[in-house]
Structure 1
């Protein structure tokens, strides 16, 4: 999806959550080979990084995407993958002694992802003009989110 945005004026954000460094390097190499790094921001919180960093990485990437959206530009964000963010959130919640639910995930784990995905939106020209203090007029902006989750053995009915 990111490679196909080349030359279309779309800023892309790739958020790698809990991936091995070699996997992240392979993705970046592929993007470079296809000339996609010119319009792509990579936010990486690898498997070796602390759980707090893996939890916060999608929010950091989304904030970057919102910046472009609110300035009347189009942006695409790919979260790879949100199931690893849920695991990081579970680790943090257990350390904070929050009451665990099913499979030791906190009760608000679904709110975590819905809150993040609802930030992807299209804004009208009036909003863009107000946000930019009149600097940008007559342009609408959008942020499109592509979440990726890992399934266990193809079981899409798993808890998270």
Structure 2
């Protein structure tokens, strides 16, 4: 076998040239204290407000309180798995969630991760959860009704597209039932109506029991309404930071349809 020095030299030079390229450099800090879903972290001097950080074990958190000597991070997971001295790594990304039609028919948590056992989300776009709302001038006047299917509401206090409506009441007075009926009422429009009249529904369950959310999803699925709906669930068993983030995540997912003329 003929071994040529030039070939060996070329191989060695190539290996030396590419050595260590896979090394990852990132800013890290250390956990000073942790409790009640909040971690105090030292060393993340350049972290941004709202930036996602990563704890050992893949647990994520959001930098929320930037102080002179430490950073307050809300933990999107069990804080019992984090201890003093743990290394915290910056990700460089502001907290965002997946958006788009790929979320329709799915049940996700406050970070947009699927929790319905139907596989990964087929969404190619992500949006930040904390964005500035449109001003008064760009907004159109509310001039088109939204049918809820409840005669008392549609006749006496109709709801318009683009309107915010508070549904308030004591326990067991039918608040969720009104929302459910409204979502189910959109089925006929989705089946037979023109594309521009179709409404997409985003339901955010905060602090409810898992069994209650499961029953809600079951009704939507049985009536064929889940196909145009997104369920964001931060149940009573989820950490408080996830419940805090859930409404922002749901609003961001809904804003995608608004921004793309699908509302």
Instruction: Report the TM-score when normalising by structure 2.
Output: 0.28
Larger helix share, 1 or 2: 1
With a CA cutoff of 8 Å and minimum separation of 6, indicate the structure with the bigger relative contact order.
1
- Which one has the largest radius of gyration? 2
